[in-house]
Structure 1
Amino acid sequence: MSAKPTALVISAHAADFVWRCGGAIALHQELGYEVTVACLSFGERGDSARLWKEGKSLDEVKAIRRAEAEAAAEALGVGDLRLLDLGDYPLRLDAGAQDQLVDIIRDVQPKWMMSHSRWDPYNTDHMNTTSFVLEARMIAQAWGHNPGEKVLGAPQLYLFEPHQTEQMGWKPDVFLDITPVWDKKRAAMECMNGQIHLWDYYTRVAQQRANHFKRNSGGQAGGRDCKYAEGFETIFPVCVDELA
């Protein structure tokens, strides 16, 4: 385990971490965190339509998406990218996969975690990932699971923004200014050549969330300037000594 503060992002497919929380990853890497990204699949079947239309084989698609994920992680400053290759559409999360994720969580000992929204009827891989992450987090906290290992504390689980936001019941209560690292996020997005159509879409999302950041940091009374932001929904209560 790193001596630095750590964080863990669990992404159903190999591009999800880039679109939805690439700014948070890059920003916290610059703040001295060691951010681990665990991709459960490459998104080879469901997120790679352009490659299939080009006549690529399954192995070719997976190799391309692997290379894209590795390049994007490098652009964000990630030194610990774990590619579990569990398959997608559907993403089948069995007991063996659960053991792998619990081991990762205990190894990383994250200060905070991130994953998908709790509801996503357009892509059940996403919402199944979040249920899977919550259960793995619970197991990692259990003293009776593999006794002798260091158990997990109580890291917050942040849910990053889904693609069809209005349909997902996702309600952000945290806005993060990613303006200082926007160039890194955009560079990471441009590594995802299998989904070029999303580059500008997620640029617009970041600009929209920047408006929400400004409004909620003071609004017309003098909110902080912000050009790009990401939104997150928290699962667990936040413990504080003073109200902001």
Structure 2
Amino acid sequence: MIDSHVHLDADQYPDPSGAIKRACDAGVSAMVVPGVGPASNRAVFELTKEYPGVILPALGFHPERFEHSEDDSREVLEMIERERDSICAVGEVGLPWYGERAKDAGMLVAAKVTLSRFARAAVTFDLPLILHAPHARAAEALTIIREAGVTRAVFHWHKSDEQTTRAIINAGYFISLTPEVAYRARDQDLARMLPANRILAETDGPWRYGGQFAGRLTEPAMIKEVVAAIAHLRCTTFEEIAAATTANARALFRIRE
């Protein structure tokens, strides 16, 4: 199994090494770790050096890290160009939704310009995009990345309407499911409607969840429970969903077996 999105660095986890070991023991063969800004991206690369082939780095610029500047954006773009052969994706990038500043019209216009730049970089360097575009932002992000010519992308932590979801699928992009699929009706409906060849599994750790995960530190080992929940909802076997989500992640991120 592959955790397609986990923020597994020392700033987020008290013991990344322990979490990685527990994940490997649970059958997780690789973890995609996206950065969210210059310092985060550097931390991701340090972790990659310790676990080559297990930790797969992505370089990003999170749309809701409002403290980041235009200079920070340029620094990340330069790092993507420099490290393009060492990373598996551009991300996490996208459009803001949460927080008061995300509602500012000028902020949204600037965010769209920034996303377009990162989308063009992904095309230039033949890399996929990891997108943060919750709710109504998904349709807007979809338009931007299609106009940029992006052919490989995943909408992570997806929360949009059915029409937008189907447009994402029809465009050939992926959608990832989080631990919420085990207990939230919205995510369960999504798990049932997605084609098997468009689903990824993610934890988005260290984000904390409810349901059976309440009170637990979110770790990549939880992917096993995400896969089990998807299999139950789709009335199929754990092995089938584990194989499908792993194959999808390998195709998107071009992960070698």
Does the alignment reach a TM-score above 0.5?
Answer: no
Alignment TM class, shorter chain as reference: 0.3 to 0.5
Higher helix share: 2
- Give 1 or 2 for the bigger CA radius of gyration: 1
TM-score (norm 1): 0.39
Q: Which structure ranks higher in relative contact order (CA pairs < 8 Å, sequence separation ≥ 6)?
A: 1
